[in-house]
Amino acid sequence: MVARRGEDPRTLPGETSLRIIMRRLREIMAEEGDGQEKLDRIVRQISGVMVAEVCSIYLKRQDGSLELFASEGLNPTAVHTTRLKRGEGLVGRCAELGVTVNEPEASSHPAFSYRPETGEDVYHSLLAVPIERSGQILGVLDIQNRASKEYSDEDIEVLQATAMVIAENLVSGAVAGAGPAIEVSRSQPTVIEGEPLSDGIALGHVVLHEPRIVVTQLMSDNPVLEIERLDKALVKLQDHIDEMFEHEQLSAAGEHRDVLEAYRMFAHDKGWHRRLREAVEGGLTAEAAVERVQNAMRNRMLRQHDTYWRERQRDLDDLSDRLMRVLAGRLTSADDESMMPPDTILIARTMGPAELLDYDRTKLRGLVVEDGSSQSHVAIVAKALGIAAIGQAAGVVERVNAGDAAIVDAVTGEVHLRPSAEVISAYSDKVRFRARKQKRYQTLRDRAAVTKDGVRISVHMNAGLIVDMPHLLESGADGVGLYRTELQFMLSDNFPRLDKQTQLYRSVLKEAGNRPVIFRTLDIGGDKVLPYLRQPSEENPAMGWRAIRMALDRPELFRLQVRAMMKAAEGAELRIMIPMVSAAFEMGAIRALVEKEKTFLKKHGYTLPSAILLGAMLEVPALLFELDAFLPRVDFVSVGSNDLLQFMFAADRTNARVASRFDVLSPAPLRALKTLVKAAKKYKVPVTVCGEMAGRPIEAMTLIGLGLRSVSMAPASIGPVKAMILSLNAEKITDCVDALLKEGAKDVRLHLQQFAEKEGVEIDG
Ligand code: PEP
Ligand code: MG
The CATH number assigned to the domain holding 307 equals 1.10.274.10
pLDDT at 15: 66
Same domain, 247 and 361: no
pLDDT at 302: 61
**Distance of alpha carbon 328 from alpha carbon 233, whole angstroms:** 9
Indicate whether residue 581 lines ligand 1 (CB < 6 A). Answer: no
Same domain, 297 and 390: no
Quote the radius of gyration of the chain (alpha carbons, Å).
Answer: 31
Residue 245 has pLDDT above 60, yes or no: yes
Residue 205 has pLDDT above 90, yes or no: yes
Top-ranked range on mean pLDDT: pick from 82-91, 243-252, 515-524: 515-524
**Cβ pair 561, 501 in contact under 8 A:** yes
- Ligand 1 centroid, distance to 594 Cα (angstroms): 22
Mean pLDDT in the chain?
86
Indicate whether residue 669 lines ligand 1 (CB < 6 A). Answer: no
Indicate whether residue 523 lines ligand 1 (CB < 6 A). Answer: yes
Same domain, 305 and 361: no
Indicate whether residue 643 lines ligand 1 (CB < 6 A). Answer: yes
Q: Which phi and psi (to 5°) does residue 408 adopt?
A: -105, 110
Stated pTM of the model? 0.61
Indicate whether residue 415 lines ligand 1 (CB < 6 A). Answer: no
pLDDT at 488: 82
Mean pLDDT throughout 756-760? Answer: 97
CATH number where 611 lies: 3.20.20.60
Q: Where are the alpha helices (DSSP H) in 142-285?
A: 153-172, 223-247, 254-267, 270-281
**Distance of alpha carbon 567 from alpha carbon 498, whole angstroms:** 10
Greater model confidence, 8 or 563? 563
In which band, very low, low, confident or very high, does the pLDDT at 306 lie, cut at 50, 70 and 90?
A: low
Indicate whether residue 690 lines ligand 1 (CB < 6 A). Answer: yes
- Ligand 1 centroid, distance to 648 Cα (angstroms): 14
Q: Judge whether 92 lies within some domain.
A: yes
Residue 96 has pLDDT above 80, yes or no: yes
- Ligand 1 centroid, distance to 208 Cα (angstroms): 28
Query: What's at 557, amino acid-wise?
Result: L
CA distances from 483 to 293, 306, 403, 511 (A): 48, 43, 36, 13
Counting ligand 1 atoms within 8 A of each CB, the residue from 373, 529, 619, 713 with the most, and so the one to mutate, is 619
Question: What DSSP designation does 217 have?
Answer: -
Q: Judge whether 1 lies within some domain.
A: no
CATH number where 168 lies: 3.30.450.40
Q: How many CB atoms lie within 10 A of CB 29?
A: 17
**Cβ pair 94, 129 in contact under 8 A:** yes
pLDDT at 179: 43
Residue 751 has pLDDT above 80, yes or no: yes
Mean pLDDT throughout 222-239? Answer: 90
- Comparing CA positions, the residue from 458, 345, 361 lying closest to residue 407 is 345
**Cβ pair 127, 100 in contact under 8 A:** yes
Indicate whether residue 641 lines ligand 1 (CB < 6 A). Answer: yes
The rounded percent of the chain whose pLDDT value lies above 90 is 51
Greater model confidence, 2 or 129? 129
Beta strands in 326-413 (DSSP E): 344-348, 364-369, 388-391, 405-409
Q: How far is CA 575 from the centre of its chain?
A: 35
Q: Judge whether 99 lies within some domain.
A: yes
Same domain, 448 and 576: yes
Report the domain count for the chain.
4
Residue 181 has pLDDT above 80, yes or no: no
- Domain end point (choices 416, 436, 456): 436
Which atom in ligand 1 lies closest to the alpha carbon of residue 526?
10
- Ligand 1 centroid, distance to 577 Cα (angstroms): 12
pLDDT at 35: 82
Residue 70 has pLDDT above 90, yes or no: yes
Which atom in ligand 1 lies closest to the alpha carbon of residue 640?
3
Indicate whether residue 619 lines ligand 1 (CB < 6 A). Answer: yes
Q: Judge whether 154 lies within some domain.
A: yes
Mean pLDDT throughout 115-138? Answer: 85
Top-ranked range on mean pLDDT: pick from 326-330, 408-412, 617-621, 739-743: 617-621
Burial class (CB in 10 A: 0-12, 13-18, 19+), 319: buried
**Distance of alpha carbon 441 from alpha carbon 459, whole angstroms:** 14
pLDDT tens-place string over residues 372-406: 777 777 887 888 788 999 999 988 887 888 889 99
pLDDT tens-place string over residues 11-28: 555 567 777 888 888 888
Proportion of the chain in helix, strand, coil states, percent, rounded to 5 = 50, 15, 35
Query: What's at 130, amino acid-wise?
Result: P
Indicate whether residue 380 lines ligand 1 (CB < 6 A). Answer: yes
Same domain, 135 and 254: no
Same domain, 312 and 419: no
Indicate whether residue 130 lines ligand 1 (CB < 6 A). Answer: no
Same domain, 584 and 699: yes
- Ligand 1 centroid, distance to 546 Cα (angstroms): 13
Residue 575 has pLDDT above 80, yes or no: yes
- Ligand 1 centroid, distance to 366 Cα (angstroms): 22
pLDDT at 673: 98
Indicate whether residue 404 lines ligand 1 (CB < 6 A). Answer: no
- Domain end point (choices 436, 466, 483): 436
**Going by CA atoms, what residue is nearest to atom 4 of ligand 1?**
640
Q: How far is CA 676 from the centre of its chain?
A: 34
Which atom in ligand 1 lies closest to the alpha carbon of residue 486?
9
Same domain, 647 and 719: yes
CA distances from 543 to 91, 262, 580, 652 (A): 48, 22, 9, 10
Q: Judge whether 3 lies within some domain.
A: no
Burial class (CB in 10 A: 0-12, 13-18, 19+), 246: exposed
**Cβ pair 597, 556 in contact under 8 A:** no
Burial class (CB in 10 A: 0-12, 13-18, 19+), 205: middle
pLDDT at 247: 47
- Domain end point (choices 295, 327, 359): 327
Top-ranked range on mean pLDDT: pick from 11-25, 67-81, 335-349: 67-81
Ligand 2 ion: nearby residues, β-carbon < 5 Å: 619, 640, 643
Top-ranked range on mean pLDDT: pick from 117-126, 468-477, 619-628: 619-628
Q: Judge whether 5 lies within some domain.
A: no
**Distance of alpha carbon 608 from alpha carbon 603, whole angstroms:** 11
**Going by CA atoms, what residue is nearest to atom 9 of ligand 1?**
484
Which atom in ligand 1 lies closest to the alpha carbon of residue 482?
5
Q: Which residues pair with 462 in a beta bridge?
A: 482
**Distance of alpha carbon 722 from alpha carbon 458, whole angstroms:** 10
Which atom in ligand 1 lies closest to the alpha carbon of residue 639?
3
**Going by CA atoms, what residue is nearest to atom 8 of ligand 1?**
642
Greater model confidence, 520 or 270? 520
Question: What DSSP designation does 450 have?
Answer: B
- Ligand 1 centroid, distance to 689 Cα (angstroms): 10
Same domain, 90 and 111: yes
Indicate whether residue 689 lines ligand 1 (CB < 6 A). Answer: no
Same domain, 395 and 506: no
Q: Which phi and psi (to 5°) does residue 737 adopt?
A: -65, -40
CB-based contacts of 118, cutoff 8 Å, min separation 6: 68, 71, 74, 75, 78, 82
Q: Is the dihedral of CA 691, 694, 698, 703 positive or negative?
A: positive
Which atom in ligand 1 lies closest to the alpha carbon of residue 641?
3
**Distance of alpha carbon 485 from alpha carbon 551, whole angstroms:** 14
- Ligand 1 centroid, distance to 623 Cα (angstroms): 16
Q: Judge whether 656 lies within some domain.
A: yes
Question: What DSSP designation does 119 have?
Answer: T
Which atom in ligand 1 lies closest to the alpha carbon of residue 642?
3
Q: Any idea which ligand is nearest the CA of 484?
A: 1
CATH number where 429 lies: 3.50.30.10
Q: Three-state DSSP class for 131?
A: strand
pLDDT at 244: 63
**Distance of alpha carbon 462 from alpha carbon 469, whole angstroms:** 10
Same domain, 546 and 528: yes
pLDDT tens-place string over residues 451-479: 999 999 999 999 988 878 888 998 999 99
- Comparing CA positions, the residue from 588, 484, 466 lying closest to residue 528 is 484
Mean pLDDT throughout 433-460? Answer: 92
Residue 585 has pLDDT above 70, yes or no: yes
Give the domain range for residue 389. Answer: 190-213+334-436
Same domain, 561 and 679: yes
Q: Judge whether 7 lies within some domain.
A: no
What is the total residue count of the chain? 765
Query: What's at 742, amino acid-wise?
Result: K
- Ligand 2 centroid, distance to 505 Cα (angstroms): 20
